[in-house]
Amino acid sequence: MKQWLKTLCFAGLFSATALMAADKITIQPEEAIKLIGKPGYVFVSGDSETAFEGGHIKGSRNMYAHHLHHADIMGNLHCEPLYQCPEHAEHYISSKGIKNSDTIIAYDNWRGPNATGVYSFFKSFGHEKVYVLDGGQDGIKALDPNQQIYNKLKAEKRKLKKAYKKAKKAGDKAKMAELKAKQKEIKAQMKQVEKKLLVQRGKEKHFKHTHYKIDRNKMKPEMLATTEEVYKAMQDILKNGDKSKYVIIDTRGMTEIIGERKMDNVARGGHIPGSKFIEWKKVTDFDRKKSFRKKEELKKMFEKYGVTPDKTIYAYCQVGAGRGSEIITALELLGYKNVKVYSGAWDTWGNNMNLPIRR
C-alpha cells in the first residue's frame, strides 16, 4: 500500500476513535460511515428481524432489543438483574461472530430505543467499546452517494411505469415498447447500484462462531436494577413524594400506563405506583431524525419533571432493553451517574401479584 494511502486510512480511523473517546456514548453517521466493513468494527441492529430484512447496514448483525431480555413464563429474569445469564450471553454473542476486541456500533432506524437496548446489553456485560449510532441507518443512507443514485433511478422507474400505463390505455404500442425497453434499462442499472449500497435488504448472514468470553469482574450489573431495588424506591417515593431521593420513570405510552393495553403474556396492565410518566418519544429528536434531542433540550425536559442528578433514577418499559434504556442513555449523555434500567420491567412487575400497581 502506498504511504499516502496508509496515512489517509490511519487519519480516518484516528478521527473516528478520537470522536468516540470524547463522547463515550454516541457516534455520528459522518464518522460511522468510515468504519463500515473495517476489521474490528461491528454494526449491530437492535431492530426486529422483519425490520432488519427490510434494510440494514451492510455486514451488520441483528440482535433485536426485545429478545435480549430472557425471562420465564412469569416474566422473571433468569439471572436478575442481568438481561441474560452470562453463559447464555456468551454463546449468543459468539453466534454473531463478535469478538471481545471488537468495537460495537449499535443502531436502529434512527429513533433510538432498540439501539440503546443493544448498548445497555453489551455495557452491562462489561464490553467497553460500545457506541450508539445517533441517527441510525437512515443517517448512513443520507450520506451514501450510491443511495442517492439509486433513489433517482427508482423515481425514474416510477415515472416510466406511469407513462407505460398511460400509453397502454391509449393503445400506443410503439410507445409501450419504447417505455418497456427504458424500464428494463433502468432496472438493470438499479441492480448494479444495489450491490454497492451501504444499507441493504435481506436476511442476516451467517457468521463464523467466535469464543466470546464475559469477564465476571468487569460486568456492570449496577447499570441495571432488581425488582427489590425498585420496590424500595417506590415505597420511599410514596412516603416522601418529590422529596424522595428516588425517581421511577415509566417510558411507555399512555394506553399501557393506564392499563388499557396489555402486551405479551403480562397478567396485569397499569404502572408502578409513584412513577413519573416520561414517554421515550420526549428524548428522540423527530425533527432532525436523531436518536437524542440536543443536550440543553434534554436537560430542561428532565428538570421540568423533577429528574435531577442528585437522585437515583430507575426507568422501565415492557422489557427494559428499549424504551427504558433510551431514557437512561439520554440521562447518561447529560452526565447523570445514579441511573439504572429496570431490566425486569413491566414484564416482571405486572406478573407478580404480590406487587402493587396503579391504573
At residue 74, the pLDDT reads 86
Residue with cell 417505455: 179
| Residues with Cβ within 8 Å of residue 55, at least 6 apart in sequence | 137, 199, 200, 201
Pick out the chain residues at pLDDT < 70: 1-23, 264
At residue 264, the pLDDT reads 67
For residue 233, the surrounding DSSP H or E stretch is helix 227-240
Q: Which residue segments constitute the domains of the chain, with CATH numbers given?
A: 145-197 (no CATH), 221-351 (3.40.250.10)
pTM over 0.85: yes
Rounded to a whole number of angstroms, the distance between the first and last alpha carbons of the chain is: 65
Query: Is 310 exposed, middle or buried (CB count within 10 Å of its CB: 0-12, 13-18, 19+)?
Result: exposed
At residue 265, the pLDDT reads 78
Strand residue runs (E) in 189-296: 199-200, 224-225, 246-250, 276-277
Strand residue runs (E) in the chain: 26-27, 41-45, 56-57, 61-62, 103-107, 130-133, 199-200, 224-225, 246-250, 276-277, 312-316, 339-342
